[in-house]
Amino acid sequence: MVRTVAVDLGATRTRAAVYESGVRQGEKVMERTPAAESEPAVLLSFLSRTIREVSRNSCGKIGAIGLSVAGPVDIRHGVLINPPNMAFRYVPICGPLSREFGVPVRMVNDCHAGLIGELEAGAAREKDNVVYITISTGIGGGVYANGRILLGRAGNAVEIGHLHVDDTYDLACSCGHRGHWEGYSSGRFLPRFFAQWCTYHGKLHGGPDGAREIFASARRGDDDVLRFIHDLVRINARAVSDVIVAYDPAVIVFDGAVMLENSDLLLGPMAGEVDRFLEPPRMELSRLAGDAPLIGAAVIAEGYDTPYGDFGVLG
Ligand SMILES: [Zn+2]
């Protein structure tokens, strides 16, 4: 039996767990991702510590390590490149960890990992045409089309957080460009969108500040916040409509803390706002409680040749 360590390196949090034949062994380890420093050595020693900690609880030798990484990534070279929501710039990860632990180390971007997790154990099981969308600190996606994952040149296809969705508020995205979805609806930028929305509509912005408080105010029935949420939902629907016409999925699986914790305000209302050019797909919430990328990392740990597409042939 091959025991593997799966790591989900997120912009805010990092989780790790040991898997054996697709089944988690023991508890997950959860750590705060180092946010302030940009030195590659900081990230590598953090990952190394996390892997040692989680494998300490496991009896038996670890045979491989799989990483789900908030990208962009270059999975041909095992490198993290200019992640917009972390301070790191260029961090070779797979090579150094492989030398340190003496086992194969493989990586994919976190949205492809999440998609694999849903295909393996979640709402996308046994489906051939699936889009995975995560709305968390950032926004990203993965596409499984006619039985294959869409990878792109270096493993970054379907970076849908950077779809253009708006010209009215003209907000800058984490990538530096304007009008991108992530600059409006992600956990990181939603409070700024609310502040800008208040200014644009001549509302006094004495209201809620953080994303959580904004959603709580909406649930308490604050009229202005509800109007803002309606505009937020329309922006989400703009992006999801573009995704539907581009990929013609049978099902879209939504994941990520912002969506999972606020689906009452975000998901149901959005279904009524998406374009109806193509028949709308089923839209579902992930039922894997945030573990989809971790499960996907465990699949990738065993090899780039997966049942969902061969990640080893990028080029
Ligand atoms: Zn962008």
How many Å lie between the centroid of ligand 1 and the Cα of residue 134?
15
Residues bordering ligand 1, an ion, CB closer than 5 Å: 162, 173, 175, 177, 180
Tell me how far apart the alpha carbons of residues 301 and 294 are, in angstroms, rounded to a whole number: 10
- Note whether 161 and 133 are within 8 A (CB): no
Q: Is position 35 within any domain?
A: yes
Tokens coding 150? 């869409």
Q: Is position 85 within any domain?
A: yes
How many Å lie between the centroid of ligand 1 and the Cα of residue 103?
35
Co-location of 37 and 139 in the same domain:
no
Determine the structural domain holding residue 93 and report its residue range: 3-114+291-313
Tell me how far apart the alpha carbons of residues 61 and 55 are, in angstroms, rounded to a whole number: 9
Q: Is position 119 within any domain?
A: no
Co-location of 132 and 277 in the same domain:
yes
How many Å lie between the centroid of ligand 1 and the Cα of residue 257?
20
Co-location of 194 and 76 in the same domain:
no
Per-residue pLDDT tens for 82-133?
A: 888 888 999 999 999 999 999 999 999 999 999 999 999 999 999 999 999 9
Co-location of 270 and 188 in the same domain:
yes
The reported pTM is: 0.94
Work out how many domains the chain is built from and give that number: 2
How many Å lie between the centroid of ligand 1 and the Cα of residue 178?
7
**pLDDT tops 60 at residue 244:** yes
How many Å lie between the centroid of ligand 1 and the Cα of residue 235?
14
Read off the pLDDT band of 241 (50, 70, 90).
very high
Per-residue pLDDT tens for 9-58?
A: 998 899 999 999 889 999 999 999 997 888 999 999 999 999 999 998 77
What is the CA angle 18-289-218, rounded to 5?
150
Instruction: Identify the helix (H) or strand (E) that includes residue 162.
Output: none
How many Å lie between the centroid of ligand 1 and the Cα of residue 127?
30
Instruction: Average the pLDDT over each of 81-90, 132-141, 285-294 and give the range with the smallest value.
Output: 81-90
How many Å lie between the centroid of ligand 1 and the Cα of residue 239?
13
Tokens coding 167? 């010209």
Co-location of 87 and 141 in the same domain:
no
Co-location of 200 and 134 in the same domain:
yes
pLDDT for 1: 63
Co-location of 281 and 132 in the same domain:
yes
Co-location of 55 and 178 in the same domain:
no
